[in-house]
Each structure stands twice: as C-alpha cells, then as structure tokens.
Amino acid sequence: MKKLKLIALAVFLITATTEFTSAQKLPGVDPSPADISIFRPDGRGTTPIAKVTYGRPMKKGRTMLGDVEPFGKVWRLGANETTEIKLYKDVTFGEKTLKAGTYSMYAIPTKTEWTIIFNSKLDTWGAYEYDEAKDVARIKVPATKSDPEVEAFTIAFDGKGASATMVIAWENTMVKVPMKY
C-alpha cells in the first residue's frame, strides 16, 4: 500500500511539473537588450564614479540617426526604458556639476551637435514622459564621425585620474561628454 501511494505521488508530481513547464511562456530575447556601463577609474573592485543603465538598439541596416531617431527631437538615448545614470559622487559634465544621485538621460541629436540632458524624473519608458521642467543640466557636445561604423548603440567611459569622457556612439556618429570628479 505504501509503495502504491509513493508511485501515485510520483506520477502526480511528474504530470503537474510537465504541465506547469509546458504552460510557461517565457519571453524571447529582447532585440534591444539592456546593458550597463560602469566607470571605475581605479579598476575592478574599486568604488565606481558612474554607472549607466541603458537599452542597446542595433542598427540592422537602417538609418537610425536623422531617420528612425529624428534630428532635433528629444530621444531617450537608447531603447526601451529611459537611460539612467547613477553618480556615486558629485561629477561635472562639461561645465555643469551634478550632485551624487540618479538621473535619467536624454539627448537631442543633430548632425553636428548633441544636447545631453540630465533629468530628475526616473523610471520612465522612452521619451514619452520627458518633462523639461525636471531638467537638472544640459550639455552641448560636438558630434564627430566614428570609424568604424558602430552597429550596437554604445555608451562607455574612457579615462583615469580626475577626468574622463563618457563616449556615446552609434552608426557613424560619436559624441564625447567631458567629465571631472
């Protein structure tokens, strides 16, 4: 009798597990996966200065800047959720100092210059909820040609010591945002 109960329990668990697993619908891989770029000027294991979390869209043969992402309009600076930057200490971008904290980031790209926007409204999707009244700082930086072409939208940091550059690149365009801390 005990053996029969164990067999019945095993059959029930196998059936229930199979039904649960086959009923699960897991999402596919996002075509614009999330990425994180962390700036640690003193290397791994040290306190970071900044961390950017952003969606990483791909070019996929399209003209993105000036077409899919129009020139002269506010853009979320990536894909999906609005890009956010966490500053672990006060940082000066261009001539604008931002206090340690977390900010959303947007851009207004043109062919020759980008306006990088730091905004206090967080946890938004795209630029649909962008509120200019919550801008903390705007920095204008020249747009230059990148070589080679950049397929996946990229935000990275370059530098050591007390100054660095936040590099934003996509297609044949690169902007460098100077930063001091």
The whole-number pLDDT of residue 162 equals 85
Q: Indicate the pTM of the whole model.
A: 0.83
The whole-number pLDDT of residue 178 equals 97
The whole-number pLDDT of residue 86 equals 98
Structure tokens at 22: 């086959």
How would you write the chain as a 3-class SS string?
Answer: CHHHHHHHHHHHHHHHHHHHHHHCCCCCCCCCCEEEEEECCCCCCCCCCEEEEEECCECCCCCCECCCECCCCCECCCCCECEEEEECCCEEECCEEECCEEEEEEEEECCCEEEEEEECCCCCECCCCCCHHHEEEEEEEEEEEEEEEEEEEEEEEECCCCEEEEEEEEEEEEEEEEEEC
The whole-number pLDDT of residue 160 equals 83
pLDDT in tens, the chain (181 residues): 566 555 554 555 555 554 545 568 888 888 888 999 999 998 888 899 999 999 999 999 988 999 999 999 999 999 999 999 999 999 999 999 999 999 999 999 999 999 999 999 999 999 999 999 999 999 999 999 998 999 999 999 999 878 899 999 999 999 999 999 9
The whole-number pLDDT of residue 95 equals 94
The whole-number pLDDT of residue 82 equals 96
Domains of the chain: which residue ranges? Answer: 28-180
The whole-number pLDDT of residue 3 equals 61
